Chains A and B, each alone.
Chain A
Amino acid sequence: MPILYAGSTEWYNRSPMTQLSRREFAALTAAAAAAPFAFGEAPSAAVLTAKDLIDRITAQIGVPWKAETVDGLKAGDPATGVTGVVTTAMATLAVLQQAVKAGANVVISGEPTFYAKTDARTPPAPRGPDGGASAAAAPPDPVFTAKNAFIDQHKLVIVRLSDHWRLRQPDPLATGLAQAMGWTKYQVAGDARRYDVPALTVDALAAAIAKNLRASGGIRVVGNAKTTVRRIGLLPGSTPIQASLAQLPEVDAIVAGEVREWESVEYARDHVAAGHEKALILVGRVLSEDPGMQVCADWLKTVIPGVPVRHIAVGDPYWRPAR
């Protein structure tokens, strides 16, 4: 049966709640209510601000901070005292709502919050007749307006952490995806993107991914359902053809987030047509990145000990109609 959202309220409950039980929420909320600024046992502990958090991330991320980066503060006041931190692949409105329920006021997002790489809090200018940006201001947009109002009302701070998180070694997004699949013990030595798993068919692999990542319709497969695969390569996030050219000849199946269809999908299709027993499984960008943001939550707990840190999954953005 396809998962069909029964309406916006039920839908909203369905996605981020899947990885954070109501009891855990209650525990978090209760802890926050009892001791909203409890940052460790030391009596000298001062309130950690969002700026302090960003500074600690910058100092401890383990890779040089880039001059040009999408990472950094996207919304909110950096002087805000941190009550709790939520990591997520994408700060959707549903994730922000769940973060507030959990007592958190800082959200670390792998992807943009405001629907573009620029991550501006205002909608993009409408396109002019020539297709370029017009001089006219964008009309009010109800989704931008509501999201901004929610952020302001709850005094949320949103920080994007993408460029630098991806550069950490070993690759935290691949590490997280492997953890979510239960493959950590199958890792090929020294390579967080390679796993030799017990042999299984492509359709069994797709079903296992759908189950473990709680997919609702975003998974797509190139390859024959009954082909047996064992050597798995992971390419979470968004990857160009070069990544597939480097990996597919060495593995039986690639599990990727997002590719360009005219590149890697066609490359994989040609492999299959050539008689090679291979497959490419696309799970979607956000769904492939959320386990890596669980890894980010685990790491942040060591960066800001004493501050509640949780991961909240976006859930699969996609569904597929019944046939």
Chain B
Amino acid sequence: MKAGEIIDRIKSHLGVPWRDATYRDTFKTGGPDTEVTGIATTAFVTLDVIRKASAAGLNMIIPHEDTFWNDRDDQAVVAGDALYKAKLDLLTKHDVVVFRIHDHMHAQRPDFTYVGSARAIGLDPKQEDPPGSHRFVIPETTLGALAASVAQRSGSRALRVVGDPKARVSRIRLGVGYASPPINAPDIDVLISGEQQESDGTFDSQPYALDAATLGIAKGIILLGHTMSEEAGMLEMAQWIKGFVPEIPVQLVKAEEPMWGPAAH
């Protein structure tokens, strides 16, 4: 089966129109004529993911994120880098075709990144109110207890929290990746998301939560990291593709959490 046939099936099953204007959801290596032996979904096409996918006989990789360390996968940005050349050589050696699915994954309903993240951190879909809103109301707890639960369930080694651990919270807003609503929304106690610029952006939630804590106003932010936030949903993505590409193996090959935190002080 050729990669182009798989992409055509993805487009026809997506449920939303394909936007050709996307610069993200395109081939990064290989192309529509590459013969595909199996599909790996993942957060990032890391060197390890390439090796693991190849070892499993999967030569099509569908990542949610970029391959060449910049969002546009502009290879001119990295052209002078020796590691870029080594990565490209490895992809070529294993005849890997990379097709990113990001914008359309977020446009799809449900957006699997939210589904996967809620599952990974233990948010019950029945607590999402209203459904599809990414808002969860849980029995009141403390930010400290909630963060400990999220860390334990996700297995994260590098999760970070802002806010007073004793703050009493119940209204959670889930964000994914780099997309997080402002923490100052009056109906949000805790934002759980992936990655968030710390300062100098359109709205700086971490500094706001710091000042809220100084004032005794219950606001918390739990940052899972970009991969931990979005990779879980690539399992749902693999299962979905498997449904209409039954001819070849389709599986999640995890990039895994890239970072660890030193022992706290």
Contact = CB atoms under 8 A, between A and B. Distances in A.
Interface of A: 1-8, 11-12, 70, 90, 92-94, 97, 111-112, 115-117, 123-124, 139, 141-144, 146-147, 162, 203, 206-207, 210-211, 214-222, 225, 238, 241-242, 245, 249, 258, 260-271, 273-274, 276, 282, 284-286, 314, 317-323
A265 B229 CA distance: 15
Given A112-B200, A124-B202, A318-B223, 16 more contacts: A1-B264, A8-B213, A8-B215, A92-B214, A115-B184, A142-B215, A203-B262, A222-B258, A238-B199, A238-B200, A270-B47, A274-B86, A314-B210, A317-B198, A321-B161, A322-B264
Closest 6 CB pairs of A and B: A2-B264, A273-B47, A206-B262, A285-B198, A261-B226, A318-B160
B245 interface: no
Contacts of A225: 260
B211 interface: yes
B119 interface: no
Contact of B207 (A203, A262, A317): A317
B143 to A, nearest CB: 10
A284 B262 contact: no
Contacts of A216: 264-265
Nearest to A211: B265
B20 interface: no
Nearest to B186: A139
Given A3-B264, A321-B147, A217 B66 contact: no
A146 B210 CA distance: 13
A251 to B, nearest CB: 14
B83 A270 contact: yes
A261 B46 CA distance: 13
Contacts of A258: 197-198
A225 B201 CA distance: 33
A3 B265 contact: yes
B15 interface: no
B195 A320 contact: no
Contacts of A320: 151, 158-161, 261, 264
Contact of B210 (A265, A266, A317): A317
A219 to B, nearest CB: 6
B21 interface: no
A265 B203 contact: no
B200 A70 contact: yes
A215 B158 CA distance: 14
Interface string B134-173: 0000000000100110011000011111101110000000
B200 A321 contact: no
A273 B83 CA distance: 11
Interface of B: 44, 46-48, 65-66, 69-71, 77-78, 80-83, 86-87, 144, 147-148, 151-152, 157-162, 164-166, 178, 182, 184, 186, 194-195, 197-208, 210-217, 223, 225-227, 258-265
B164 A266 contact: no
Contacts of A1: 264
A7 B207 contact: no
B144 A4 contact: yes
11 contacts: A5-B166, A139-B186, A143-B208, A146-B211, A203-B262, A221-B158, A266-B44, A266-B69, A266-B258, A267-B83, A318-B160
Given A262-B66, A273-B48, A317 B258 contact: no
A288 to B, nearest CB: 10
B162 A271 contact: no
Given A318-B161, A320-B159, A116 B211 contact: no
A322 B152 CA distance: 9
A207 B263 CA distance: 8
A146 B215 contact: yes
B217 A7 contact: no
Contact of A147 (B198, B211, B262): B211
Contact of A321 (B148, B198, B207): B148
B204 A112 contact: yes
Contacts of A269: 46, 258
A262 B65 contact: yes
A12 B214 contact: yes
Contacts of A206: 262
Nearest to B160: A318
Contacts of A238: 197-200
Contacts of B165: 4-5, 319
Contacts of A268: 258
Contacts of B259: 220-222, 265, 282
Given A8-B215, A263-B70, A115 B264 contact: no
B182 A112 contact: no
Contacts of B83: 249, 267, 270-271, 274, 276
Contact of B201 (A92, A117, A271): A117
B260 A221 contact: yes
A116 B204 contact: yes
A112 B158 contact: no
Contact of A317 (B144, B157, B162, B197): B162
B144 to A, nearest CB: 6
Contacts of B151: 320-321, 323
Contact of B46 (A11, A273, A322): A273
A116 B202 contact: yes
